[in-house]
Structure 1
Amino acid sequence: MSRSSRLRILCYDISCNKRRRKIARLLEDKASRVQFSVFETRLSDGALARLVDSLEPFLEGPDSLRVYTIGQTGERHCDVRGAGIPVETETGYWLM
């Protein structure tokens, strides 16, 4: 896996419906929604910083945005069960 394009997990807890919808729309442009407030994507460090910077103005009071970077070892141990979509691959597409 290229170090410049690592698997990123973004999740949020936003109290206001309007701001929550705005953040979801911004994330949907750059990531795959895997749960209601959880997204996965492959982004470089620079692209991730730009995305997070675009989301930060919508965070207020008790709101939170968490970003996790998953390395190769973590990806090998990722297990999706049930109706979940598969983890994004470096190839950029899924065969279903």
Structure 2
Amino acid sequence: MSDRPQLRVIVYDIADNRRRRKVAATLEKRAARVQESVFEARLSRAQLARLHQRLKAHLAEDDSLRIYTIPDAALPRCHVEGGPLLADGARYWLF
């Protein structure tokens, strides 16, 4: 099985400003911010696992972190209106 990069959507809900800034700074090094607490990146499983470990170090029990993988086959069914382009330079809308 190939470990080629796939589009990952990473979202969080963190009430504490300090932890939220640390998570955002970690994500900004590897992903594109597309909304305030929504990031996108093309990552392999190995890259995602390393990023996930770094993110978990900043989370508390009441924080929420979600990571979604968008398969390449689903990309033609996606579209975005407004905001920055996605990590691969395209516009998508999930439905």
The interval holding the TM-score normalised by the smaller chain is 0.7 to 0.9
Instruction: Give TM-score scaled by structure 2 length.
Output: 0.86
Tell me which residue corresponds to 2:86.
87
Tell me which residue corresponds to 2:70.
70
Runs of 4+ in structure 1 over 3 Å off: none
Tell me which residue corresponds to 1:20.
20
Letter in 2 for 1:35: Q
Query: What is the Cα deviation at residue 58 of structure 1?
Result: 1.2
* Structure 2: segments with no counterpart, 5+ residues: 90-95
Letter in 2 for 1:57: A
Between the two proteins, the alignment pairs up a number of residues equal to: 88
* Structure 1: segments with no counterpart, 5+ residues: none
- CA RMSD after TM alignment: 1.4
How many percent of aligned residue pairs carry the same amino acid?
48
Deviations 1:52-80 (A, max 9, x none): 00010211121011000001232111111
In structure 2, C-alpha distance between the alignment counterparts of 1:52 and 1:43, rounded to whole Å: 11
Query: What is the Cα deviation at residue 3 of structure 1?
Result: 5.3
